[in-house]
Amino acid sequence: MSKLNISQAAKAVGVSRSTFYRHIENKGISTTKDDEGNPLVDTARLTERSTRQRRAGWTGEDVSDLERKLYAAQAALDLETVRREAEEAAREKAEAGEAHWRAQAERLTLLLTDQRNGLGGHRRPWWQRIFGGGSERHEPGKL
């Protein structure tokens, strides 16, 4: 039995090293270690896997193409997530600004209206305040 290191095995199957490592983890491809602790793959396992891929109609190019599409879809999803988060942050900022200006408008309204004694801005004319009277309303023609 001959054995190949990960780079050689990935090249033989037609996938990248990182993809081959994922296949080792996910597909249960068995490996052994050399004297230095590097993983080795038995060529019989590669032949068996390649045969299964050919039977299923998948080639290394097909798998690589699907992986590229998967990465592109993941990148698009990540981009959409970032866009939505930015929109949410902008909306929250706009709402905070609106609340701030609404509070400012309320304060200014209170400043512009007379709040003394619940009169709500209705004061007696100056001549009634000086000379008195005017608590009852005078109708024209009556003294």
Give the CATH number of the domain where residue 42 resides: 1.10.1660.10
**What pLDDT does residue 137 have?**
57
Instruction: Assess if residue 75 is contained within a domain.
Output: yes
Confidence at residue 57, expressed as pLDDT on a 0 to 100 scale? 65
pLDDT in single tens digits along all 143 residues of the chain: 577 788 887 887 778 888 888 888 877 777 888 888 888 887 776 666 555 555 556 677 777 888 888 888 888 889 999 999 999 999 999 999 999 999 999 999 888 876 665 555 567 788 888 887 655 555 555 55
Query: How high is the pLDDT of residue 80?
Result: 92
Model pTM score: 0.35
Token pair 């942050």 in the structure block, residue: 89
Q: Is residue 134 part of a domain?
A: no
**Structural domain containing residue 21:** 3-58
Query: Are 50 and 65 contained in the same domain?
Result: no
Report the pLDDT value the prediction gives residue 89, as an integer from 0 to 100: 96
In a domain, 135, yes or no: no
Query: Which pLDDT value is given to residue 10?
Result: 80
Q: In angstroms, rounded to a whole number, what is the distance separating the alpha carbons of residues 75 and 3?
A: 36
Q: Residue 140: inside a domain, yes or no?
A: no
Lookup result for tokens 């408008």:
105
User: Which helix or strand (DSSP H or E) is residue 74 part of?
Assistant: helix 60-112
In a shared domain, residues 27 and 48:
yes
Quote the CA–CA distance of 49 and 13 in Å, as a whole number.
8
Number of domains making up the chain: 2
| Predicted local confidence at residue 25, as pLDDT | 80
Q: How far apart are CA 124 and CA 110, in angstroms?
A: 20
Together in a domain, 33 and 69: no
